[in-house]
Amino acid sequence: MRHVPLRAEDARSALLLLLGLALALFAVCSLFGSAAARVDVAAGVDGRFLVDTLLMACAFLCLVGLRVFARPLSAPRGLRALAVVAFVGTVPCPLILATPVWPLGIPCVAAGSVALVFLWWSHACTVGRTLLSLVVAGAVSLAGALLALTSFLPAGVPQTDYLSDMASLASCLLLLGVQNDLRDRLLQVSVAESRDRRRNRMYSRLGELNYFSVGVILGADGGLWVLLSRQADGSLLPPVLLMGAALVAAGTFLGVACRARGFDMERLSKDYLCATLALGYLLLPLVGGLGTGLVYVYLVAVVFVQACIVFLAGAELVRFEELSPLYSFSEAAYLVGGSVVGALGVFAVGLLVPGQALVASCAAVVLYAAVVQVQLNRVSFPEDWSGADDPAPAASAAAPGEPAPAPEPASDDDGPDDKLIPAGSYLRRRLDDIGAHYGLSPRQCEILDLLARGRDTQYIMDRFTISRATAKTHVYNIYRKLDIHSRQDLYDLIEGDDFTSLETPGQGINPRV
């Protein structure tokens, strides 16, 4: 059985990843937050909002380009080119925004930001789920704290605009000190092969819907800020301070959640998305002053938590299924594209319903979140499904005409998995034929081996260092493909002979006609 690739987890590499990712997040958030202020022609709230929307649209095109040019970018020269783009786009190019040729700086800043975040995220894909959750939580919190601190600097000080440039420079320099052979090996996987390994298109669309819905809500929050700024007449707290506070809150929650044993963060998207958002959006039109800022921080923190969840799931899937990081990261185009749609949607609502723009926008976002949650539940596994945790003992199938051996107990002290089901044995051939007959992916075949030996979800999580949601989703997909509903059904399928004959070792599949 293949082992899921996992980078050696030491304190130095984890600290380097945390610091580099935090500086990259701070630089990108600061750039996107201050880009409109650097552009002289972006007068007023509406003008700055349009500049930010243009930045997001350019970032969307850059993410699409990552997938289109994935093959050349995966080569060593391509990675060096991405590093150059990250440096040029986030260090010198922001200075162009303060000049008359600022339209040239918008796509450059967007490309540099996308390249910088991708380079650090590609390293994060090689880290186990628990450590990665802690690293992301720490990086988000640190980036938020830096953003909040910059909001207290005097307005108009030239050095304030260059803090993000220095953070970008430091982040690029830290990239030079990272050696990651596993990342380089994953980058050699082609986009076509990555797409083939994700054979279940329904669950691919589930991930795309997750990205897009989070982006729509994030963009809607940006549009709501425009509406709030119009009503408050400048009495709101600085947006950089609110953004930093939201990042700190999101990072703190992620850190606590990943340390809570048995807590499934993915359920926040599946079950509690609408409820958590409705709590904030229903209060936002009712409060004023400081309360408006606190509720807005809550809403932005919720969407940041959702974004971290989908990115953690994407990084875990890259390592577990051995996909190309470029292929997976380019799916963030759905998030960025959704943010443009959400921002323009709220902006349009404000024009259509000028008298009740805030109330109408909040109601529209809550309605959208409710529809998305229903769709997510339709394609996800039911919470009361427990096929992977059936207490039945593992069964070892015997050849026809031979007595069945006693089930093998599932013990955590067993040796390597490939020694427990020897190559060439009847059970080994039977499982291989079942996997080929029902079109299971290589990873699903490995999980099928564990299920045939009586392993439960917790063991699969520990064995592959993945989250509970990923383990349950893969087991559920196996049961769905095999058209079974319990562990006993699996044993009956293994012991049956309804679609193949195994009279000789290595005999092929003979489907019934």
Could you write out the three-class secondary structure of 277-326? HHHHHHHCCCCCCHHHHHHHHHHHHHHHHHHHHHHHHHHHHHHHHCCCHH
Using 50, 70 and 90 to split pLDDT, how confident is the model at 498?
A: low
- And the tokens for 247? 């990042």
DSSP 153: S
DSSP string, 399-438: -TTSPPPPPPP--TT---HHHHS-TTSHHHHHHHHHHHHT
In the numeric block, the tokens 């690293």 are attached to 135
Q: What integer pLDDT is reported at residue 424 of this predicted model?
A: 58
In the numeric block, the tokens 């080119």 are attached to 81
Inform me whether the pLDDT recorded for 20 exceeds 80. Answer: yes
pTM, full prediction: 0.79
Q: Which one has a higher pLDDT value, 284 or 46?
A: 284
Inform me whether the pLDDT recorded for 309 exceeds 90. Answer: no
Q: Rounded to an integer, what distance in angstroms lies between the CA atom of residue 350 and that of residue 229?
A: 12
Q: What integer pLDDT is reported at residue 232 of this predicted model?
A: 64
Q: Rounded to an integer, what distance in angstroms lies between the CA atom of residue 443 and that of residue 449?
A: 10
- And the tokens for 209? 């819907």
Q: Which one has a higher pLDDT value, 382 or 493?
A: 493
Using 50, 70 and 90 to split pLDDT, how confident is the model at 414?
A: very low
Q: Which one has a higher pLDDT value, 512 or 450?
A: 450
Residues contacting 428, CB < 8 A, separation 6+: 421, 422
Q: What integer pLDDT is reported at residue 502 of this predicted model?
A: 41
* Residue closest to 69 by CA, chosen among 324, 258, 246, 285: 324
What architecture is domain 387-495? Answer: Orthogonal Bundle (1.10)
Average pLDDT, the chain: 79
Return the percent helix, strand and coil in the chain, to nearest 5: 70, 0, 30
Q: Which one has a higher pLDDT value, 417 or 464?
A: 464
Give tens-digit pLDDT for 154-205.
755 555 667 888 899 999 999 988 877 888 888 888 877 877 766 555 556 7
CATH of the domain spanning 11-379: 1.20.1250.20
Inform me whether the pLDDT recorded for 82 exceeds 90. Answer: yes
Q: What is the mean pLDDT of residues 421-426?
A: 62
Q: What integer pLDDT is reported at residue 456 of this predicted model?
A: 82
Inform me whether the pLDDT recorded for 504 exceeds 60. Answer: no
Inform me whether the pLDDT recorded for 9 exceeds 90. Answer: no
Q: What integer pLDDT is reported at residue 158 of this predicted model?
A: 55
Give tens-digit pLDDT for 371-392.
888 877 765 554 444 555 554 4
Least confident window among 29-33, 199-203, 216-220:
199-203
Residue spans of the domains in the chain: they are 11-379, 387-495
The one-letter code for the residue type at 114 is: V
Inform me whether the pLDDT recorded for 148 exceeds 80. Answer: yes
Q: What is the mean pLDDT of residues 34-53?
A: 70
- And the tokens for 474? 């893969």
Burial 128-145 (b: 16+ CB within 10 A, else e): bbebbbbbbbbbbbbbbb
Inform me whether the pLDDT recorded for 289 exceeds 90. Answer: no
Q: What integer pLDDT is reported at residue 14 of this predicted model?
A: 87
- And the tokens for 230? 């119009």
Inform me whether the pLDDT recorded for 30 exceeds 80. Answer: yes
Q: Rounded to an integer, what distance in angstroms lies between the CA atom of residue 392 and that of residue 454?
A: 7
Inform me whether the pLDDT recorded for 137 exceeds 90. Answer: yes
Q: What integer pLDDT is reported at residue 282 of this predicted model?
A: 87
The one-letter code for the residue type at 404 is: A
Q: What is the mean pLDDT of residues 412-437?
A: 65
Inform me whether the pLDDT recorded for 322 exceeds 50. Answer: yes
Least confident window among 2-6, 320-324, 346-350, 435-439:
2-6
Q: What is the mean pLDDT of residues 131-138?
A: 91
Q: What is the mean pLDDT of residues 34-47?
A: 66
Q: Rounded to an integer, what distance in angstroms lies between the CA atom of residue 15 and that of residue 123?
A: 13
Q: What is the mean pLDDT of residues 320-338?
A: 88
Burial class from Cβ neighbours inside 10 Å (0-12, 13-18, 19+) for residue 480 reads middle
Q: What integer pLDDT is reported at residue 203 of this predicted model?
A: 58
Q: What is the mean pLDDT of residues 282-300?
A: 88
Inform me whether the pLDDT recorded for 60 exceeds 90. Answer: yes
Q: What is the mean pLDDT of residues 245-249?
A: 94
Inform me whether the pLDDT recorded for 417 exceeds 50. Answer: no
Collapsed DSSP state (helix, strand, coil) of residue 125: coil
Collapsed DSSP state (helix, strand, coil) of residue 496: coil
